[in-house]
Structure 1
Amino acid sequence: MSFDWSLVVFFILVVTAASSGAFFRPGEWYTALRKPSWTPPSWVFGPVWSVLYIMIAIAGWLVWRQEPSSPAMWFWILQLGVNTLWSALFFGQRRMDLAFADIVVLWLSVLCFVIAAASVSTVAALLFVPYLIWVTIAGALNWTVWRMNVAPA
């Protein structure tokens, strides 16, 4: 059995997307924000995202091997792009409102991937379920932090 180098391409795509977060770090601005008591500790984000990014790469690769131009593949590409944008919006531009809109699109694209991928690769669809759960939590956190830190109208 030979190694399939296309898997490396998927890891490169995901690592490139994940690297965008390195440019937009939370910093003092985020630290100073009011946050709900259920905010995960900072050290949780790195390990969770690392595992999720591995699963995202494998899921995309599994679908691509079966049906490279399937709707599932288009949703995979969309979620990766929208995922990449979130850090720039939230931490870079400090636009919690736009970041929330972005995370809604991310959540929908992840859900659509799960649904579309289920008929192509059950494993790929299942690999995205923890991602969907995490994006749900991240969306709730984004919303709550935004609402807690918006000046009253």
Structure 2
Amino acid sequence: MTLTIIVVVAIVLVVFILGGIASRPGEWYRNLKKPSWNPPNWAFGPAWTIILSLAGAAAVFAWTAAADGGEQTRVAVLFAINIFFYVIWSPLFFAARRPDWALAEVPFLWLSILALIVGLWDISSTASWLLVPFLLWVTFAAFLNWRIVRLNAPFGSKAEVPSHALHGEHARERR
């Protein structure tokens, strides 16, 4: 069990660091229009720390409760798929500056969390319950992502042009 905890903590730290590196908001993010219910930037770090800690605990519970190698493989595969979708959202949103692409990726992340909850239930219901806050937070984040897209679209090379540099009809279309 100690080795399992060490491995899970290491994976959670790597995932947290990768997410943190890819999620540096910067001036571009600060300049986006956001809904009034957007949490303050400082709240995201603690929220993700809690969520990833719970996910790590879920991994430990599921791994140690797995009856055999087949169940351990299921645990590992479900978490690997989830980590993949978790890690790619931030570079899409922040590095690529494409909230629209990140929004298109959200259903895959959401489904990977749901797959974890359902897929781990018969191994460890405790592990499944520990993942519910993750699903709820991503549901909230998906609505936030959707709203940011609605308030700021379009994205891409034309979106990089400052609005004051646009003139005439095109400028009115962008507002």
Work out which of the residue numbers 66, 73, 79 in structure 2 matches 1:69.
73
1:111 matched to 2:114? yes
Q: Which residue of 1 aligns with 2:147?
A: 144
What do the CA deviations read for 1:2-54 (whole angstroms, capped 9, x no partner)? x6121111111111111112322011100000001111111211111101111
Shift of 1:84: 0.9
1:7 matched to 2:19? no
Give the aligned residue type for 1:78: I
Q: TM-score, normalised by structure 1?
A: 0.91
Give the aligned residue type for 1:62: F
Shift of 1:136: 0.2
Q: Which residue of 2 aligns with 1:19?
A: 17
Structure 1 contact 86–99 (Cα < 8 Å) conserved: yes
Q: Which runs of 5+ in 1 are unaligned?
A: none
Give the aligned residue type for 2:151: M
Give the aligned residue type for 1:69: T
Shift >3 Å, 4+ stretches: none
1:119-130 superposed matches below 5 A: 119-130=122-133
Q: How many residues in Structure 1 have an aligned counterpart in Structure 2? A: 150
Which has the greater radius of gyration? 2
1:54 matched to 2:53? yes
What do the CA deviations read for 1:63-105 (whole angstroms, capped 9, x no partner)? 22212112x4322211111111111110011111221122211
CA-based RMSD: 1.5
Q: TM-score, normalised by structure 2?
A: 0.81
Give the aligned residue type for 2:54: M
1:99 matched to 2:102? yes
SS in 2 for 1:119: coil
Q: Which residue of 1 aligns with 2:93?
A: 90
Rounded Cα–Cα distance in structure 2 between residues aligned with 1:128 and 1:63: 11
Q: Which residue of 2 aligns with 1:41?
A: 40
Q: Which runs of 5+ in 2 are unaligned?
A: 155-172
* Identity percentage of aligned residues: 36
